[in-house]
Each structure stands twice: as structure tokens, then as C-alpha cells.
Amino acid sequence: MTRFEPNLRIPGPTALPPSVREAGGRQMVNHRGDEFKALLGRVDEGMRPYFGTSGRVILLTCAGTGALEAAVVNTLSPGDAVLAVTMGAFGDRFAAIAETYGAVVTRLPVDWGRAAEPEAVRQAAAAIPNLKAVLLTHNETSTGVANELEPLASAIRDVAPDALLLVDAISAMGAVPFAMDAWGLDLVVTGSQKAWMSAPGMAMAALSPRAWAATETARMPRFYLDLRRHRDTAVNGETPWTPAVAVLYQVDEGLRLMQAEGDGVFARHEACAAMTRAGLRALGFELLADDDVASKTVTAAWIPDDLDWKAFNGALKRRGLVLAGGQGKLKGKIFRVGHLGSVTTDDILAALGTLEAALVELGRDVAPGVAVTAAQRALLAAARTPAGVA
Ligand SMILES: *Cc1c(COP(=O)(O)O)cnc(C)c1O
């Protein structure tokens, strides 16, 4: 069957709304001129409420990983003691970056599929003398688990008030409420290709006054990602190096769409997550994350032993549904459904309908309509809650 647009259900890059695609095709401007200055200012201001910060949002031309690297090299020195709370592949990556630059990293591994426990984090932080920083993941994309950052931050502050809290919020910020300043986080990063409905190529970072102070004493080497250069040029409406102007056009347009939708953005992600979970369960899939720690932007499910994933995924792809596989030690064991950015509740119904059809094609004992029915019910339930969709 011909499908003219794939149903791209991976946790980034996410599908672009038509107006965002058009924005990316606009003519270039002088990146040292007034139009660019206005654009940069608009995106900085537009991003702040989603970060929950009154400070400047720095726009970097790089993948999300580049912003994780920026977080490390701008605040730390070789030999610094760092606690990495890791609950999946992206937490491990953050820890590896800090190690690469010479930090002395202690890992607190959390079972994949579970969230970090404030008490365990408190104990781990208390056990490290001169703890300089804690690396935290907001939303672990490899497992579909979300951490509650506020209790984690306060547990760390109890025992290590001077430790900097560096947060990978790449895959859920913009899709869920976030309050960097109120939660006491020091350096938070995200990336254009996740909830921001834009192409890959830009990452954003915001820093607390403590984190800015740390940039003056940190001794890890940095040049391209030196956040002080970005801050100092941003004052004049510029970036230190030539930015990904086309991606910035897109982020600007994505923000305009998000602002028009208001809190509906968060309700839509809640509903899509609930629908995905209900639908997958109705098909007999076991989910990695329990409901209370489940991500609002990505859902991971175990591949049953008796399901031939290659044949199944092939049947999905022929129908235009693109899912993500597992990463790291979960490769071949799970699949992931992304539901962030420009996702609609109808996209989720379509994805679940495709999953049903593929399972039927493979001769599995699945009643056509069960997943879609379960998802419709979850949508109605979500609409009845105060945060639900209208
Ligand atoms: C996508 C993602 C990253 C990495 O982003 P890249 O742009 O691929 O470098 C890091 N952390 C999390 C949680 C992510 O979801």
C-alpha cells in the first residue's frame, strides 16, 4: 500500500509540521545583521518559559550530545568528583563524556526501566567527598522512563549543597512542564529535533548563576563550545560561529506553534502517552516502565520471545510505520514508540492500527481493533482529567 508520508514514530528526529518545513526553506540572512539579531532574541525569549528560567537560553549549533559536552567542559576541571546517575544509554553517554575529559566519575546505576530514587541518590552523593557535580537525565529515551527532578535535586542539596546539577533534558523538555529555576538545576540542555518539531542541528542550554560562575574557574579545554563566548556574543544578537540558520528558522516557527497551543501541548503529550501504553498492552506487549515513572514522550515495550522482530518490523515499515529499536544492552530486546513534537492523538491511533494489522498478518492471535479501542478509551479518560485534551 502506498503511504505518502511515513508515520515517523521514533523519539527524534520528529516529523516537521508543514509551516516548520517551509520555514527551513527560507532565504538566508546576514548572521551579523538585524534580522538575525531579532530571530536569536525571539528564540531565546520563547524558550525560557519551557526551561522555566529567567536566564538566557544559549543556542548552540550541534547535536544534543554537543550540548552535553558543553555542560561538562564549561563547569568542570580534570580530577573533579562527579556522580553520574544513569538509568540507560543516554545517562551512560553523559558519564562517558565527563570521564573523557578527566572527571573522576562515580556511577549510580539504576535498573533500566526504573527511575532514580531520591534516597539512593542522597546516599551516593553523601559518600563522595568534594562532590563537584551530579549528572542527571530528565527523560531516559533508551528506556522510556522519566525522572522527577525536583525531589532528586532537593535530596542532593541536603548532603552536597555546592554540587552543580547538570541535566540532560533533551528528549522531553517542551513536551512536559519544566521548572529549572524553581527546582534549583544549574545547567540544562535540550535539542531541536525532539519536542521542538525542528530538524536536528541545534541544541539549547541554560545556566544558573552558579553554573555561570563555574564557567570562569573550570579548566577542561574548550573552544567551539565555550559558553562564555556564546553568552558574550548573544548580548549583541549574534553567535560566535556561523549558526545553523535554517534550523533556527524552524525552531522559531515551532515555538510559534507551541505558543499558540499553550498548555494544550502538555495535555496532548499526556494523552498520546496514555493511548500508546493502553494500546500496546491491549496487543499483549509488556512495557518496560511502570506507569508512575513512564515517559510522556517515548514508550518502550519488550519484544516477546516468540515474535520474529525482523518480520514484524518489516511488516510495519511496508505500511509506513517507523519505530525505534533498542539501544545498548536492550538492542534486539525492545522496541520504542516516539510520541513527541508534532504528534497527534490520531497519529497514535494510526500507529496502533498498523501494529494490529502487522500482527494479524504474522498470524498472531490479535483481534483487529483491540489496540485502537483501548487507546480511544484512554483518550476519553485523559480528556476527563483536568490536564486532559479538550
Ligand atoms: C536524543 C538524545 C540525546 C542525544 O542527542 P543527539 O542530538 O543525538 O546527540 C541525548 N540524550 C537524550 C536523553 C536524548 O534523547
pLDDT at 384: 81
12 ligand 1 Cβ < 6 A: yes
pLDDT at 2: 56
SS3 215: helix
Distance 170 CA to ligand 1 centre (A): 6
pLDDT tens string 323-351: 999 998 999 999 999 999 999 999 999 99
Alpha carbon of residue 140 to chain centroid:
8
Average of per-residue pLDDT values in the chain: 96
373 ligand 1 Cβ < 6 A: no
Q: Answer yes or no: pTM beyond 0.85.
A: yes
pLDDT at 38 over 90: yes
pLDDT at 3: 61
pLDDT at 386: 55
Q: What is the mean pLDDT of residues 260-269?
A: 98
DSSP state of 354: H
- State residue 182 phi and psi, 5-degree precision: -65, -35
Cα three-residue angle 46-50-56, rounded to 5 degrees: 60
- Tell me if 245 sits within 8 A of 197, measured CB to CB: no
Q: Which of 139, 141, 297 has most ligand 1 atoms within 8 Å of its beta carbon, as the pocket-test mutant?
A: 141
Distance CA 341, CA 45 (A): 20
pLDDT tens string 76-109: 999 999 999 999 999 999 999 999 999 999 999 9
293 ligand 1 Cβ < 6 A: no
Q: What is the mean pLDDT of residues 244-264?
A: 98
pLDDT band at 135 (very low <50, low <70, confident <90, very high): very high
Number of neighbouring beta carbons within 10 Å of residue 170: 28
pLDDT band at 61 (very low <50, low <70, confident <90, very high): very high
Distance 171 CA to ligand 1 centre (A): 7
pLDDT at 167 over 60: yes
pLDDT at 390 over 50: no
pLDDT band at 151 (very low <50, low <70, confident <90, very high): very high
- Tell me if 364 sits within 8 A of 307, measured CB to CB: yes
Q: pLDDT above 90 covers what percent of the chain?
A: 96
Q: What is the mean pLDDT of residues 133-155?
A: 98
pLDDT at 337: 98
Which atom belonging to ligand 1 lies closest to the Cα atom of 140? 13
243 ligand 1 Cβ < 6 A: no
Distance CA 62, CA 242 (A): 11
In the chain, which residue ranges form alpha helices assigned H by DSSP? 18-24, 34-51, 64-75, 89-100, 118-126, 149-159, 180-183, 209-217, 227-234, 245-261, 264-282, 309-318, 345-361, 370-384
pLDDT at 170 over 80: yes
Cα three-residue angle 164-101-151, rounded to 5 degrees: 25
pLDDT tens string 288-309: 999 999 999 999 999 999 999 9
Which atom belonging to ligand 1 lies closest to the Cα atom of 200? 7
136 ligand 1 Cβ < 6 A: no
- Tell me if 10 sits within 8 A of 322, measured CB to CB: yes
168 ligand 1 Cβ < 6 A: yes
Number of neighbouring beta carbons within 10 Å of residue 367: 11
Q: Show Cβ contacts of residue 77 under 8 Å, excluding neighbours closer than 6 positions.
A: 102, 132, 217, 218, 219, 220
pLDDT at 4: 75
Which atom belonging to ligand 1 lies closest to the Cα atom of 298? 15
Distance CA 211, CA 190 (A): 16
pLDDT tens string 200-218: 999 999 999 999 999 999 9
* Number of residues assigned to the chain: 390
88 ligand 1 Cβ < 6 A: no
Which atom belonging to ligand 1 lies closest to the Cα atom of 191? 7
Distance 217 CA to ligand 1 centre (A): 27
Alpha carbon of residue 106 to chain centroid:
24
pLDDT at 115: 98
Which atom belonging to ligand 1 lies closest to the Cα atom of 11? 15
- Tell me if 86 sits within 8 A of 110, measured CB to CB: yes
Distance CA 251, CA 343 (A): 16
Give the residue from 158, 167, 82, 95 showing the smallest Cα distance to 122.
Answer: 158
Whole-Å CA distances, 76 to 72, 163, 168, 220, 332: 6, 11, 16, 6, 36
